[in-house]
A and B are shown apart, each in its own frame.
Chain A
Amino acid sequence: MSLTYVDRLLYFWFKMSAGPYNYSYIFKYIIIGDMGVGKSCLLHQFTEKKFMADCPHTIGVEFGTRIIEVAGQKIKLQIWDTAGQERFRAVTRSYYRGAAGALMVYDITRRSTYNHLSSWLTDARNLTNPNTVIFLIGNKADLDAQRDVTYDEAKQFAEENGLMFVEASAKTGENVEEAFLETAKKIYQNIQDGSLDLNAAESGVQHKPTQPGRTNLNNDSQTNRDNCSC
Chain B
Amino acid sequence: MELTPHVQEKLHAGHKLTAVVEAGLVQDFIKNTRVVALIEVASTHVKQGGEQALLIFQTARVPVHSAIDLSIEQVIAVDTNLKCEIDTSSLDVDTDVLVNITSGKVRLLFEMPFSQRTNAFVSEILRAAEVVSKRRGPPPEFAWLQPYQKSSTSSQDPASPGSAPTTADTLDGLGGDAVSLGDVSVDICQNLSSTYPDPANCNTENSSVHTENERSPDLGVNRHSIATGLSPTPIAARESHIRYQMAMREDAYTDIQEFTVFVGTWNVNGRSPTVGLAEWLAVDAEPPDVYAIGFQELDLNTEAFLFNNSPKEQEWLNAVLNGIHPKTKYRKVRLVRLVGMMLIVLVQEKHLAYVRNCAIDTVGTGIMNKMGNKGAVSVRLDLHNTSICFVNAHLAAHQEELERRNEDHDCIFQRTCFHLNITSNSPPKTIKDHEHIYFLGDMNYRINPCDMNIREVASSGEFKLLLQHEQLTQQKNAKRIFHKFKEGNILFKPTFKYDVDSDEWDSSEKARQPAWCDRILWYGDSITQLEYRSHPQLQISDHKPVSAIFMAGIKVVDTRRYRRIYEEVMKKLDKLENEFLPQVTIDTTEIILEPVKFYQSQTKYLTIANTGQVPVQFEFIKKLNDVTYCKPWLSIRPYSNFITPGEKCDVSLEVLVDKQTAAQLNSGVDQLYDILVLHLEGGKDLFITITGDYERSCFGSSINALVHMNKPFRDVPVAKLIDLESKQPKELSEMPYAVPKELWYLVDHLHSHGLQVKGLFTHPGLQKEIFEIRTCLDEGVEHQVLPGSVHSVAEALLLFIEALPEPVIPYSLYQAALDATPNFSLCKEVINKLPDYHRNVFEYLMAFLKELLNHAEDNTLDANTLAHVFGSVLIRESSAVAGSSDRRNQNQAIERKKQTFVHHFLMND
Contact = CB atoms under 8 A, between A and B. Distances in A.
A5 B435 contact: yes
B85 A21 contact: no
Interface residues of B, number: 86
A227 B160 CA distance: 35
Interface string A1-23: 11111111111111110100110
Interface string A35-62: 0000000000001110000000001111
Given A88-B687, A214-B114, A59 B427 contact: no
Contacts of B382: 9, 12-13
Given A10-B247, A67-B570, 14 more contacts: A3-B248, A7-B100, A11-B243, A21-B239, A22-B92, A49-B208, A60-B589, A64-B578, A65-B577, A87-B675, A88-B687, A211-B93, A221-B427, A225-B417
Nearest to B412: A230
Contacts, number: 187
A145 interface: no
B119 to A, nearest CB: 6
Interface of B: 81, 83, 85-86, 88-93, 97, 100, 102-105, 107, 114, 118-119, 122-123, 126-127, 130, 134, 208, 239, 242-244, 246-248, 250, 356-357, 365, 369, 382, 385-387, 407, 410-411, 414-415, 417, 420, 422-430, 432-435, 525, 557, 566, 570-571, 573-575, 577-578, 581, 589, 623-624, 675, 677-678, 683-687, 689
B427 A15 contact: no
Contact of A211 (B91, B434, B685): B91
Contacts of B433: 4-5, 8
Interface in A167-221: 210-218, 220-221
Contacts of B420: 12
5 contacts: A12-B426, A15-B423, A65-B577, A221-B122, A230-B414
B244 A7 contact: yes
Interface of A: 1-16, 18, 21-22, 47-49, 59-67, 83, 87-88, 90-91, 93-94, 97, 210-218, 220-222, 224-226, 228, 230
A26 to B, nearest CB: 13
Contacts of A230: 365, 369, 407, 410-411, 414-415
A213 B685 contact: no
A218 B678 contact: no
Contacts of A13: 356, 382, 385, 557
A94 B589 contact: no
A230 to B, nearest CB: 4
B86 A218 contact: yes
A173 B399 CA distance: 76
B435 A59 contact: no
A6 B97 contact: no
Contacts of B407: 230
Given A12-B422, A60-B684, A213-B91, A1 B428 contact: no
B261 to A, nearest CB: 18
Contacts of B578: 47-48, 64-66
B796 to A, nearest CB: 38
Contact of B246 (A10, A16, A88): A10
A10 B92 CA distance: 20
Contact of A10 (B239, B385, B581, B624): B385
A63 B557 contact: no
B215 to A, nearest CB: 12
Given A8-B426, A12-B420, A221 B126 contact: yes
Contacts of B678: 60
B428 A225 contact: yes
B247 A87 contact: no
B895 to A, nearest CB: 41
Contacts of B423: 12, 15
Nearest to B407: A230
Contacts of A93: 624
Contact of B623 (A6, A94, A214, A222): A94
A224 B127 contact: yes
B61 to A, nearest CB: 29
A16 B575 CA distance: 26
A47 B574 CA distance: 7
A152 B94 CA distance: 51
Contact of A218 (B88, B247, B685): B88
